[in-house]
Chains A and B, each alone.
Chain A
Amino acid sequence: MPANRFNNFTNYGIGIGLRVPHYDHILTEKPTVDWFEIISENYMQEGGRALHILDQILEQYQVVQHGVSLYFGSKERLNRTHLKKLKDLVKRTKTPWLSDHLCWGSVDGTYSHDLLPLPYTLDAAKNAAKKIREVRDYLEIPIAVENVSSYAEFHSSEMTEWEFLTEVVERADCGILLDVNNIYVSSQNHTFDPRDYILGVPHHRVAQMHIAGHSKYERFIIDTHDHPVIDPVWELYDLAIQKVGPTATLLEWDASIPSFQEVHDEAKKATRYWKDKDKAAQKKKRAKK
């Protein structure tokens, strides 16, 4: 299941986000890393240091693009100029798939710079699916949509979040970037069982997973990406791997970023669950023989 049409039949391992404080370390020490995830918007310029660094990274590493501003859920039309820039970057990175969020964030060309929650309605699902198809057709690569953390729910919602995600990806025929930490954060904020979420999504569509840390406040949790992954999130990740199989996984660490080694070590903890899963699969195979 890990290599599927939603991640372009790749078999990537454990990746980390390419972040400015790590540039020098990566270029001088050349550490062994399965792949880097880049935030597309940080490299959609005409020139400068970021692109220069990216080109050097591309000579040595596999890179996957992750975006924050396609806003599949926004009611407004896709911005063609933006898509053109994105396609130029796709050609540069040769990313096997491209991910962005199942959310909205702009109205009539005015941007919130946030990943805002959608009402879980059929109308919203149809709108998002249509835009995902448009993006995929234009960029000509597989698209994976990520579930976001949310802090608000709408009266108008007609289904659960995982039913909504399923509705969207089935209609768009696209992949899922399953963010396990986001599921945990939203489950705490909206009081649902996160295991129901993981069990409820179409596992064969999972192209990639995200893990991350978050910040807990008295009355809610915020998805801050500034801590190590907590045990309950690792437990959910274990469940997801059991259901999906070892899948390209990325640790997000975007604020209070520690050393490269610390981030990479935290990410590599994910392989513990892969090994168990691999052992179980081998055992099953032997038993069949």
Chain B
Amino acid sequence: MSSLAQLQKDFLSCLQAPLNSKDRLQPSRIGGRWIKSEIKPNSRLTAVDRIEIYARQYWFRILESLYDDFPGLRALMGDQEFERLIRRYIEKFPSRSYTLRDFGTRLPPFILKEKRAYKDKSALFYQMATMELAQLHVYDEKEESPLTAKHLGARPLLCRLRISPHVRLMALDYPLDEWQLKLNQGGVREQLSNGVLDRRLKSKCRALVGAIKKERIYLAVHRYQFKVYFKRIEPWAFELLTAFDQGISLGAAIEKVMKQNKFKDAVSAASVQTQFQEWSAMGWISLRKSKK
């Protein structure tokens, strides 16, 4: 008999071991001898059967959560490829948080590591996963109150700002925002989250995937009145917001962006001011707390 700590370690290892193609435990891979020495059988179930109930619950619960969180990625990859990816991911990165909300956090970098498997689609899959993760996170991140002149004080250009947690900035090589909105229409996204796509929606999904074309876009994924939205932003605005987030002062960030030749025709003092007012009103930016 093992100590409580060892028993829990061994039990969890059994749950985390990949199931076979029929979603059954593979006792040979996890040390069936341990199960028999620790778990009592009864008249209806062997010791392995009993552990298998927990193992299946473990895998199905986490798979379901990833299906729910990444329907767009699933549509892009197709059912089989997506399932292969997330099963490998679950095996490689077991949950390190009390909530499954955080479980997909390491999925985008994991996709990049699997680059060889996806070849030229690697960036597309990575960006889709990152965008869906951003949607999940901004949904319940802290919201900052609108930034006012009072917050900025007498020397606003010296203030250091940051992007609020309920806003995520993204530079994408594909118009994934529009693509996802199309996917949402006609119930495709809902069915993707729930599990099985019917034949009509499957072909609609395939057509959507086939139509996706490269296009550089700058996007803010943000929450407004408890709903998550996409908002396209100008390249210079993206650069300005990114500069804020890097801790550069307001004045220096504006100067950095306005000095760039590529933004010469697009940006003016007036456009910066208009944007700044809009971001402040929506709580996108807040004062960076000074380190004491």
- Among B58, B165, B226, the residue within 8 A (CB) of A112 is B58
Q: In the complex the two chains form, is A48's CB within 8 Å of B139's CB?
A: yes
CB distance from A64 to the nearest CB of B (A): 20
Which B residues are CB-close (under 8 A) to A114? Answer: 15, 54, 57-58, 61
- How far, in angstroms, from A155 to B50 measured CA to CA in the complex? 13
A61: Cβ under 8 A from any B Cβ: no
Within 8 Å of chain B (Cβ to Cβ): is A124?
yes
* Closest residue of A by beta carbon distance from B139: A48
* A156-B38 in contact given A48-B140, A48-B226, A112-B58 (Cβ < 8 Å): yes
A44 CB to nearest chain B CB (Å): 7
Say yes or no for A191: interface residue by CB 8 A criterion.
yes
Q: Measured between alpha carbons, how far is A240 from B256 in the docked complex, in Å? A: 72
Q: Which residue of A lies closest to B61 (CB)?
A: A113
Binary contact track A118-136/B, C-beta < 8 Å → 1, others 0: 0101011001000000000
A75 touches B57 (CB 8 A): no
Complex Cα spacing A134 to B49, Å = 36
Decide if A230 is an interface residue (CB 8 Å cutoff).
no
* B21 interfacial contact with A, CB 8 Å: no
**Who on chain B is nearest to A110 by CB?**
B94
> Quick one: which of A41, A106, A108, A119 contacts B7, CB cutoff 8 A?
A119
**A46 in complex: contacting residue of B45, B53, B99, B165, CB < 8 Å:** B165
| A155–B95 CB distance below 8 A | no
Number of B residues with CB within 8 Å of any CB on chain A: 44
Instruction: Give residues 200-242 of A contacting B (CB, 8 Å).
Output: 219-220, 222
Q: A-facing mask of B40-53, CB < 8 A → 1, else 0? A: 10111101011101
CA distance A127 to B7 in the complex (A): 14
Query: How far apart are the CA atoms of A154 and B100 in the complex, in Å?
Result: 28
In contact, A152 and B39 (Cβ under 8 angstroms): yes
Given contacts A48-B226, A152-B39, contact A113 B62 (CB under 8 A): yes
Q: Which residues of A contact B44 (CB under 8 A)?
A: 219-220
Chain A interface (Cβ within 8 Å of chain B)? 41, 44-52, 69, 74-76, 79, 82, 104, 106-114, 116, 119, 121, 123-124, 127, 151-156, 189-191, 219-220, 222
Using a CB–CB cutoff of 8 Å, the interface residues on chain B facing chain A are 1, 3-5, 7-9, 11-12, 15, 37-40, 42-45, 47, 49-51, 53-54, 57-58, 61-62, 94-100, 139-143, 165-166, 223, 226
Of the A-B pairs whose beta carbons lie under 8 Å apart in the complex, a sample of 26, sorted by A's number, is: A47-B165, A48-B223, A49-B139, A49-B226, A51-B140, A69-B99, A107-B5, A111-B95, A111-B97, A112-B15, A113-B62, A114-B15, A114-B58, A121-B4, A124-B4, A151-B50, A152-B47, A152-B50, A153-B42, A154-B40, A156-B1, A189-B42, A219-B44, A219-B49, A220-B53, A222-B53
